[in-house]
Every structure is written in C-alpha cells, then in structure tokens.
Amino acid sequence: MSDRPLLEVRHLRVEFPSRRGTLVAIDDVSLAIEPGEVLGVVGESGAGKSVTGAAIIGLIEPPGRIAAGEILLDGRRIDNLPPEAMRQVRGREIGAVFQDPLTSLNPLYTVGRQLEETIRAHLPLDAQAARARAIELLESTGIPAAADRINHYPHQFSGGMRQRVVIALALAAQPRLVVADEPTTALDVSIQAQIISLLKRLCREQGTAVMLVTHDMGVIAETADRVAVMYAGRIAEIGPVADVIHRPRHPYTVGLMGSIPSMDGGQEQLAQIDGAMPRLNAIPRGCAFNPRCPQAIDRCRTDRPELIKAGASMAACWLHEQQVSA
Amino acid sequence: MSATVPQAQAPREREIDSPTNASRPLVEVDHVSKVFDVSAPWLNRVIERKPRQLLQAVRQVSFNIARGETLALVGESGCGKSTVARLLVGLYRPSSGRVLFDGHDLANIQGDSGLALRRRMQMIFQDPYASLNPRWRVSRIIGEPLQVHRLIEDPQAMRARAEALLTQVGLSATDADKFPHQFSGGQRQRISIARALASEPEFLVCDEPTSALDVSVQAQVLNLMRALQKTRKLTYLFISHNLAVVHHVSDRVGVMYLGSIVELAPKARVFSAPAHPYTRMLLDAIPDISMSGRARTPVGGEVPNPLNPPTGCAFHPRCPHATPRCRSETPLLRDPGDGSLVACHAVEENRISVVA
C-alpha cells in the first residue's frame, strides 16, 4: 500500500433533474478513505449521505447523475466507467450492505446459490470450491449450522441473520472497500450490536476499509475512525471520531450532539436546533446552516465557507477562519 | 416521580369507589393478557390439517401509573409493548384481566357511555405520515376530537381553538389551512400532538412518538412533550425501543420481553443497577456515544418466535445465568428488596448481584 488513499472523492456534485428545476443533492463533497479505515458518514434524512454512498458504488438512480467531480479508487477513476466495467468493480473491489436485508437478497434463490454466484463471478473458483467458500463465509458471520442453512431461502432467516448473509455477500470477493448504508437501522438494539461487532471484526481481519453511512451517532462512536457530518448536501465537519464527538467545531455538529439524549446526565431540556434542514430546492445562500445557526454573522449569509482546519478536524464554518486570523 | 400517596394506603383507597379519587393511580392494569388468533383460514385448516394457532402477545401484565407520572415501556420488536399501548386506550379488549382508568373499567369504553372516558385519554402514534388524513386540512384534523366529543359546536370557535392548539405546539395559526403533505415529519408529529391535546385529556399514550424522526427534530418533540406535561399535568405511557430516549423522559421503566414485564423499577434503578439479565443485556447493547471504552459483554441470540415461546423463563435460551429451574419454571415478578419488581430466578436466589 502506498501513501495514496484507497478511495478519493473530489468535488463531487450529484444532481437530480426535476420538473421544477435541477436539485443538487450533493454539492462539492470531497473526502478520502485510507486502506483499512472506517469512515463514518452521519447526517439527517436528506443530508445526502446515502447519495454519496450510491455515487461511490455507481448506483445513482437515473435521472440522477454525477454532474461534476471525480471518484478515484486506488488512483483510478471509477465514476466514468462503462456499466459493465463498473459491475466488475462493484462486488470485486467495493462491496455494499444496505439497510433492508430483504430487498438486497433474491427471494427466489437459496442464499447458497446467491453466494456461489457472487464468488464465481469475481474469483477463479470451481463450483465445489465456491460452495466451500460460501459455507466458510456464512460460518465467519456467525450463522449456526452454516452447511445446512446454505440451502435455505432468505425468508427462512430472521432479520439479523439475513443481514449476516448480506454481509457475507458483500465480503465474498474480499473487496478492499465496503459501503454500508444504514446496515443496522432495521434491526433491534441487541441484534444491532451483534451486526456492528461482526462488521468490525471481519473488516479488521481482511483489512477492508468501510464507509459507514448512518444517522446514529452511537453506532459511529463505536465503529468509526473518522467521521464526516453532512448537512444539506455538503460536508459540515470531518475529523477523528473522538474530536467530532467531544469537541465539535461546526455549530451544526454542536447542536446535533446536544440533541442526542444522553445516558449519563439527567438533563431537563435537550439542546435543540430550531427549524429544519432546508429542502433541496431552497438551500440558502452562503452557509446552508446560517438560518438556524445561533452564531451566524453577515458573511455566513453571503459567502459559502470551505472546509477550514479547526483543531484536529476540518469544519466548513467562517467562525474558525476568524479564530485562525485573529 | 409523582408518587402522590404512600403505598400502604392504596388498598384501603381502592375499597371506596370514588371515581375522582386523586390519590389512587390514574391507570391500573390488572393481570391483563391478550391473545391473537393467527390461524390459517378455516378451509386451509380443514384441508391441510393445520391446527389453530394462538399468539400470546401480552401475558399477565400488571402495573399502575400514578397521576402526572411518565411510565416507559421498553423492549425489542414483538415484545408486546405496542399491544399494551392499545389495550390501555381501549383499541384492543383484553383477553383476560382488566384495565382501570381512574377507577372505571375500560371494558365499558365503547358506545355513548364510554365517550366521557375516551375524552380523557388520547394516543400519539409512531408514523406521522400514516396517522394524519392526507385529504383533510389541519384545522379539520385537530377539530375532529372536539366534534366527536361535542366540546365545541360553533365552527368559528372550533377554528379559534385549533389555531390556539397549533401555536401551543410551536406551529403557526396560519398552518390550519394547510394539508399534512405540506409539513415535515417533525411538524406532522406536532400536529398529532395538537390533535391529541384537543379534548384536554389527562392521559397520553405515546407509541414510539419520535422513532420516525431525525435526532435534532426528536429533541424538539421531546422538549415539547415535557413542557406540555408540566403545564397540563399530563400522565404519559411512553413506548420506545430507544433506551436513551426512555432515560430522558421517564420516571419509571418497565422492561418487556416476549409479552411479559421482566423488570419494573424507577428510572434511576433500571439504569444504574439493572437487575434482570435481559435489562443488563439491553443496556449493554446501546452504542456507547461517550466513547468511554467500557467493556461490553457480547450479546448472543435473538428474540424467540412468540408462536413457540421457550418453556420456563422466556429469556433462558439467551441468558448466561440460566439453570434447570429457569428452563422449567416461569419466574414471577418479585420485589428484590428495594421496592422494584424483577421476574428472575437468579435474582431471587441471589445468584447474581442486583447492584451493577
């Protein structure tokens, strides 16, 4: 491995044309993931976190399209690959885990057949070896009696077990990056903890990097090395997970952290951010957060802030530039 | 905690059947069970010789809610917490046992005689997209309870009341003319709250009211609910799977597993010294946002199929402390000595310490 990041997203812009004009779902997003690193991406509904993940695995629903920027995997551009070449990258080099395990599995095929098909599509193995590998994968995800369960259909598995199968599928070809979009949101807390520790363990063993998209800051705190906080299609703040959680720099992150009910203190009142995230067709000028920001200054209403160094993190906020120059 | 009266007096008070006795609990749930018939259709049962299948969603649940108190019920999917919520507002009838609201049996809640009782309790549902009629204007949605309970007949007065309620929940009076689709999820949940408050109820059953909301919007709704509780002296039953939210809102917590309450205790006790192994497991499973790096015992297994529950203690297949007794004998709720209730043989036999 060189000093080059495994994945690099540069100035990505994703647009969705609609009857009422073009909606910009992702606006000038840049991020990088190192080999073996877990990058968390958090944000509220509509912040663009899932679209960022979809762009990386080349699965943006038309008419949505990447309008600008580039995505590089190991230095090679993958955002402009023809569909067939992208199919090879997806699965072989980038695995995907989605929120709902039922829709990511084909209900008409046994899980064994789906696993073997994926393995043989990407690895030079014969049918027997592929089957052995499939059983091994199911065992590694903690499915009991894997040799029997391999002949079962998805509906014969519980939600947690299905998500284990999906993780086995994503890791079948030993990809170097897994994009996991809300992998535990549909699951109960006790199952969520199992799936998170499974994903963590398998990726550590194989040295797989993970982009973990979720709205749950708790999951991020437990899993990620670094975290990107998204707001209205932009990155508001990105940095090491402990810094973002304990020393948030962007006023939005400060509000977000304050609004999470905590288990330690008996706070009477949760800190709340008034208002709601703007719709994509009404993103304010300047900083997208300025109408809700308690610290907004005139400049926030006119100029859009770039990511500026703030402590160990980077925050897209003019307040930090003042501190640097002062 | 409101605990308006010493425990010892409660039985004596119960003898005097005074409906507005302020010292008795507002809600009393007495050994309530709910069984659903989930059998295949009759013809299939005959042809395919399938047996009748009964699902025991709630078994022998008892608890009280004092006036002004917030009781939270937590548990994973399928533990019966939403069924309890519906039993408490009369949307389901118990298969056995009874629910008393201010001394009145909810078995008589249907029909005109129950109308006065129904006015005093309302429910807030999880999904604000499904619980508001998309074809009604907000003023009509909020006015419906007023109309049903014949509280206000005059259209203009009703309109004024709807506008007042909207401002109370942090929306604008002009929103009364809009349709639900013009609002975000958090705003819709505010409309649901305004509708629930319209008939001036004393008791609100909130079934996962913030689960469909983003965390910053959830904070707004939780703050609003807390403020309303103070000003209107409301009593809440709060159903949630999110323990952090429960920790924030509740006075007492009931933990449910497969249709039964396994632990019922004041909030501080549940979170600082959980007794039942399932409660400990649930608390352990919460992602640790403070990143204190505490050691976590790995959680094993899944919730069993409620159609075929385990024998004895329903939690025994996942419990690290299970013994042969746990596999054969169902534990009953007992007081381990601090006024709380725990259904666990291991706790009763002092095999596991109550203090965490």
| Environment class of B143 (CB within 10 Å of its CB; exposed 0-12, middle 13-18, buried 19+) | buried
Tokens coding B263? 């632990």
Contact B248 A267 (CB under 8 A): yes
In terms of residue numbers, what domain contains B282? 251-290+311-356
Cβ-contact A14, A73 below 8 angstroms: no
Chain A interface mutation, best of B215, B246, B307, highest count of A Cβ atoms under 10 Å: B215
Closest CA to A246 of B250, B292, B241: B292
Query: B204 in a domain, yes or no?
Result: no
Identify all chain B residues contacting A191, using CB atoms and an 8 Å cutoff.
302
The Cα of A286 is separated from the nearest Cα of chain B by a number of Å equal to 22
Give the H/E segment covering residue A251: helix A251-258
Cβ-contact A28, A13 below 8 angstroms: yes
Identify all chain A residues contacting B218, using CB atoms and an 8 Å cutoff.
259
The half-sphere exposure of B334 on its side-chain side, counting CA atoms within 13 A, is 14
Tokens coding A316? 């897209």
Chain B interface mutation, best of A184, A185, A190, highest count of B Cβ atoms under 10 Å: A190
Tokens coding A117? 């098909």
Query: B301 in a domain, yes or no?
Result: no
Residues 6+ apart with CB under 8 A from B53: B37, B38, B39, B40, B307
Tokens coding A212? 């973990």
Task: State the residue for tokens 């109308």.
Answer: B115
Backbone angles phi, psi at B327, to 5 degrees: -80, -20
- Give me the residue from B222, B282, B302 closest to A270, CB to CB: B222
| Environment class of B331 (CB within 10 Å of its CB; exposed 0-12, middle 13-18, buried 19+) | buried
Angle among Cα A291, B164, B179 to the nearest 5 degrees reads 65
DSSP for residue A298: G
| Environment class of B152 (CB within 10 Å of its CB; exposed 0-12, middle 13-18, buried 19+) | middle
The total number of structural domains in chain B stands at 1
What letter represents residue A124's amino acid? P
The Cα of A6 is separated from the nearest Cα of chain B by a number of Å equal to 27
Contact B248 A269 (CB under 8 A): no
Sheet containing A7-18: give its strands across. Answer: A21-33, A7-18, A65-73, A76-77
Angle among Cα A251, A275, B286 to the nearest 5 degrees reads 65
- Integer Cα distance of B175 and B155 in angstroms: 17
- Integer Cα distance of B96 and B107 in angstroms: 11
pLDDT per residue as tens, chain A (326 positions): 457 899 999 999 999 998 888 899 999 999 999 999 999 999 988 899 999 999 999 999 889 999 999 999 999 999 999 999 998 899 889 999 988 877 889 999 999 999 999 999 888 999 999 999 999 999 888 888 889 999 999 988 888 889 989 999 999 888 999 999 999 887 888 888 888 888 888 888 888 999 999 988 888 998 999 999 999 999 999 999 999 999 999 999 999 998 888 776 656 778 888 888 888 888 899 999 999 999 999 999 999 999 999 889 999 999 988 655 44
Considering only alpha carbons, which residue of chain A is nearest residue B184?
A: A276
Considering only alpha carbons, which residue of chain B is nearest residue A159?
A: B302
SS3 A208: coil
Please give the span between the terminal C-alpha atoms of chain A, in angstroms, as a whole number.
Answer: 40
- Integer Cα distance of B199 and B120 in angstroms: 7
The Cα of B301 is separated from the nearest Cα of chain A by a number of Å equal to 8
Angle among Cα B7, B11, B16 to the nearest 5 degrees reads 130
ipTM over 0.85: no
Angle among Cα B200, B204, B206 to the nearest 5 degrees reads 140
Cβ-contact B238, B206 below 8 angstroms: yes
- Integer Cα distance of B330 and B339 in angstroms: 21
DSSP for residue B334: B
Cβ-contact A159, A101 below 8 angstroms: yes
Tokens coding B199? 């008939």
Closest CA to B237 of B102, B67, B101, B65: B65
The Cα of A186 is separated from the nearest Cα of chain B by a number of Å equal to 10
Identify all chain A residues contacting B303, using CB atoms and an 8 Å cutoff.
188
- Integer Cα distance of B278 and B295 in angstroms: 17
Query: B275 in a domain, yes or no?
Result: yes
Query: B328 in a domain, yes or no?
Result: yes
Query: B43 in a domain, yes or no?
Result: no
What letter represents residue A280's amino acid? L
Tokens coding A300? 């926030």
pLDDT per residue as tens, chain B (356 positions): 344 434 433 333 333 344 456 678 999 999 999 999 888 888 888 888 888 888 999 999 999 999 999 999 999 888 899 999 999 998 899 999 999 999 889 887 777 778 888 899 999 998 888 899 999 999 999 999 999 998 888 889 999 999 999 998 989 899 999 999 998 888 999 999 999 999 999 999 999 998 888 888 888 899 999 999 999 999 999 999 888 899 999 999 999 999 999 999 999 999 989 999 999 988 888 877 776 666 566 667 778 888 888 999 999 999 989 999 999 999 999 998 888 999 999 998 888 865 54
Query: B281 in a domain, yes or no?
Result: yes
Chain A interface mutation, best of B279, B289, B303, highest count of A Cβ atoms under 10 Å: B289
Considering only alpha carbons, which residue of chain A is nearest residue B298?
A: A194
Please give the span between the terminal C-alpha atoms of chain B, in angstroms, as a whole number.
Answer: 23
Contact B216 A161 (CB under 8 A): no
Cis bond before residue A305 (omega within 30° of 0): no
Q: How does strand B235-240 pair with strand B252-257? A: unpaired
- Integer Cα distance of A3 and A175 in angstroms: 19
Query: B119 in a domain, yes or no?
Result: no
Identify all chain B residues contacting A218, using CB atoms and an 8 Å cutoff.
244, 286-289
For A74, A174, B17, B247, the CA distances from B74, given in Å and listed in that order, are 46, 39, 32, 10
Closest CA to B101 of B152, B32, B3: B32
- Integer Cα distance of B263 and B77 in angstroms: 17
CB pairs under 8 A between A and B: 114
Cβ-contact B198, A245 below 8 angstroms: no
Specify the pLDDT at position B2: 42
Backbone angles phi, psi at B62, to 5 degrees: -135, 135
Considering only alpha carbons, which residue of chain B is nearest residue A193?
A: B285
SS3 A180: strand
- Give me the residue from B185, B241, B244 closest to A262, CB to CB: B244
Specify the pLDDT at position A91: 85
- Integer Cα distance of B202 and B234 in angstroms: 5
Specify the pLDDT at position B13: 38
Contact A193 B284 (CB under 8 A): yes
Cβ-contact A110, A104 below 8 angstroms: no
Which region, left, alpha or beta, applies to residue A4 given φ > 0 means left and ψ of -120 to 50 means alpha? beta
pLDDT tens string A121-179: 888 999 999 999 999 999 888 888 889 999 999 988 888 889 989 999 999 888 999 99
Backbone angles phi, psi at B324, to 5 degrees: -55, -35
Query: B23 in a domain, yes or no?
Result: no
The Cα of B247 is separated from the nearest Cα of chain A by a number of Å equal to 6
- Integer Cα distance of B297 and B304 in angstroms: 20
